[in-house]
Amino acid sequence: MTHVVIVGAGPAGLAAAEHALAAGADVTVLDQADAPGGQFHRGAAHRFEALLSRCAWWPESTVWAVEGRRVHVLRGPADGTHRRRRTLEPDALVLATGAHDRVLPFPGWQLPGVFTAGAAQALAKGERVAVGRRVLVAGAGPFLLPVAESLVDVGAEVLGVLEANPARTVLQGWSWHAAAHVGKMTELVRHAGTLARHRVPYRMGRAVIEARGDDRVREAVTARVRADWSVVPGTERTYAIDALCVGHGFVPQPELAVAAGCALDGGFVRVGDDQRTSVAGVFAAGELTGIGGSVAAAAEGAVAGWAAAGRTPGRALLERRDHARAFARRLAAAHPIGAAWPGWLREDTIVCRCEETSYGDLKTAAADPAAPGPHALKLGTRAGLGPCQGRMCGLAVADLCGGAERHHRPIAQPIRLGELAEPKELP
Ligand SMILES: Cc1cc2nc3c(=O)[nH]c(=O)nc-3n(C[C@H](O)[C@H](O)[C@H](O)COP(=O)(O)OP(=O)(O)OC[C@H]3O[C@@H](n4cnc5c(N)ncnc54)[C@H](O)[C@@H]3O)c2cc1C
């Protein structure tokens, strides 16, 4: 029987598991979280009990390295002291490790009380905790709406949802093509309805350009921005807040795929028609291969699971995946990142929060002829070398200084020296 290992139990990984099982494979699913569901189905683990009872299900299992199809796993809570090291060598590997929020830097974004939209939603959905009492949600993308909805749901007063792109760009993107994606439109209308009932305004063409406060965020300065996100002078407005949630789209997490040797296209894992990567026996699905929401992730996962089990995906599966991908392309067109966002920055604006590298430091280093290239820039300023390893600032640094974001991290997740030195794998 073909043994398929699936890394990531979000919509993509779970759909891959379901289809690999249906195709007759022996399936192991692992996730670093303690419950299945990923970002979208957070708090809905019970829905997957029946599916996972037919697999080997490894929660709290972090894949810290991949070599080809060999998967190195640490089992146990990430903050625990007794994690067990295990290695798996499946016939096929499906990578479905998703994406994380992208946040563009702006003055004050490092203040306590400024959250990524994803973190705010995770706390609201997973723990029923509101990140603040008076909250502003800002950035770009349709995902700001469900974030605001979940905040309202746990009792926060949401002062507004600000989409930086102008109405023309957003509405063009969502126009008649969206009609072909009725499910998604219904979802959007439902979110909009909830926000309207709670009198939460949705404003397009407006961005947060500064967060202010001493020990924590107290105010957000917003401004009208043009289509390229340059600020229209004189349009600034200040909100008194105690929390700010920002998200400017998503960044894929391709470290494991890169470690496995998979080729990338523009930061996403390159896949063929059946979600096969450039490495034999390794498949990828979901946000790793393109940002498109949970439906697209699940549709790709279904194809990947079927193909990983050694079966040729049927037309219906492929069509469903292609339809969902077309929607993802529309989404990207409706919510682009404006090229003029660096205009929000000041010399002292922190860009790499781990290493406290400022915009001024980066500009000086990038202009230094004695240290050309992204590698020298990184070593000279330490941007991207802190604990998050550039996950937060990598794209911003690449945008500001030129060059591509680097994903090659042979050790994809933190591992203690003691765990690494453990001579033999524990059962
Ligand atoms: C704030 C926010 C709001 C959203 N709202 C919506 C919405 O309303 N509608 C919609 O359609 N989509 C929404 N999305 C997008 C949706 O969550 C994603 O499209 C979907 O979850 C992608 O599925 P995935 O399986 O590719 O990745 P994910 O759901 O992110 O799952 C990836 C899984 O991989 C695991 N993982 C990662 N690395 C490792 C590792 N090294 N070892 C072990 N496990 C690992 C993670 O723990 C995670 O469980 C939202 C996303 C965010 C962040």
Distance 423 CA to ligand 1 centre (A): 34
Ligand 1 residue neighbourhood (C-beta within 6 Å)? 7-13, 30-33, 38-40, 62-63, 96-98, 101, 117-118, 121, 143, 146-147, 253, 256, 286-287, 293-295, 297, 412-413
Tokens in use for 259?
Answer: 């470690």
Closest ligand 1 atom to the C-alpha of 12? 25
Tokens in use for 229?
Answer: 């996100």
- Distance from chain centroid for Cα 356: 23
pLDDT at 423: 66
How far is it, in rounded angstroms, from Cα 27 to Cα 48? 14
Higher pLDDT, 19 or 394: 19
Judge whether residue 245 has pLDDT over 80.
Answer: yes
CA dihedral 105, 400, 139, 39 (to 10 degrees): -90
Closest ligand 1 atom to the C-alpha of 14? 25
pLDDT band at residue 400 under the 50/70/90 scheme: confident
Judge whether residue 275 has pLDDT over 90.
Answer: yes
The mean pLDDT of 389-399, rounded to a whole number, is 81
Closest ligand 1 atom to the C-alpha of 121? 1
Residue nearest ligand 1's atom 41 by CA? 63
Higher pLDDT, 255 or 423: 255
Distance 13 CA to ligand 1 centre (A): 10
HEC string for the chain: CCEEEEECCCHHHHHHHHHHHHCCCEEEEECCCCCCCCCCCCCCHHHHHHHHHCCEEECCEEEEEEECCEEEEEECCCCCCCCEEEEECCCEEEECCCEEECCCCCCCCCCCCEEEHHHHHHHHHHHCCCCCCEEEEEEECCCHHHHHHHHHHCCCEEEEEEECCCHHHHHHHHCHHHHCCHHHHHHHHHHHHHHHHCCCCEEECEEEEEEECCCCCCEEEEEEECCCCCECCCCCEEEECCEEEEEECEEECCHHHHHHCCCEECCEECCCCCCECCCCCEEECHHHCCCCHHHHHHHHHHHHHHHHCCCCCCHHHHHHHHHHHHHHHHHHHHCCCCCCHHHHCCCCCEEECCCCEEHHHHHHHHHCCCCCCHHHHHHHHCCCCCCCCCCCCHHHHHHHHCCCCCCCCCCCCCCCHHHHHCCCCCC
pLDDT at 391: 77
Task: Give, for ligand 1, the residue of 6, 88, 97, 269 to mutate: max count of ligand atoms closer than 8 Å to Cβ.
Answer: 97
Distance 402 CA to ligand 1 centre (A): 28
CA dihedral 190, 192, 193, 197 (to 10 degrees): 140
How far is it, in rounded angstroms, from Cα 91 to Cα 5? 8
- The residues pairing with 73 across neighbouring beta strands, listed in sequence order, are 63, 86
Higher pLDDT, 193 or 245: 245
pLDDT band at residue 379 under the 50/70/90 scheme: confident
Higher pLDDT, 179 or 262: 262
pLDDT at 326: 86
pLDDT digits (tens, 9 = 90+) for 84-123: 889 999 999 999 999 988 999 999 999 999 999 999 998 9
Task: Give, for ligand 1, the residue of 101, 294, 411, 413 to mutate: max count of ligand atoms closer than 8 Å to Cβ.
Answer: 294
Residue type, 233: P
Task: Please report the domains of the chain, with CATH numbers, ordered by start residue.
Answer: 3-100+251-313 (3.50.50.60), 103-248 (3.50.50.60), 345-401 (no CATH)
pLDDT band at residue 425 under the 50/70/90 scheme: low
Task: Give, for ligand 1, the residue of 40, 48, 74, 125 to mutate: max count of ligand atoms closer than 8 Å to Cβ.
Answer: 40
Judge whether residue 217 has pLDDT over 80.
Answer: yes
pLDDT at 158: 97
pLDDT at 180: 59
pLDDT at 327: 81
Distance 40 CA to ligand 1 centre (A): 6
- pTM higher than 0.85 for the full model? yes
Distance 93 CA to ligand 1 centre (A): 18
**Total Cβ atoms within 10 A of residue 205:** 21
Higher pLDDT, 25 or 379: 25
Stretch among 139-143, 149-153, 340-344, 421-425 having the lowest mean pLDDT: 421-425
pLDDT digits (tens, 9 = 90+) for 315-357: 999 999 999 888 888 878 889 999 999 999 999 999 988 888 9
The mean pLDDT of 55-72, rounded to a whole number, is 93
Stretch among 165-179, 186-200, 204-218, 219-233 having the lowest mean pLDDT: 165-179
Judge whether residue 6 has pLDDT over 60.
Answer: yes
Q: Give the C-alpha distances (Å, rounded to integers) separating 238 from 165, 235, 354.
A: 19, 10, 28
Q: Which residue reads 């890394």 in tokens? A: 7
Residue nearest ligand 1's atom 1 by CA? 118
pLDDT band at residue 313 under the 50/70/90 scheme: very high
Query: b/e per residue, 92-112, with b = 16+ CB within 10 A?
Result: bbbbbbbbbbbbbbbbbbbbe
The mean pLDDT of 23-33, rounded to a whole number, is 97
Look over the chain and give the mean of its residue pLDDT values, rounded to a whole number.
89
pLDDT band at residue 183 under the 50/70/90 scheme: low
Judge whether residue 179 has pLDDT over 80.
Answer: no
pLDDT band at residue 284 under the 50/70/90 scheme: very high
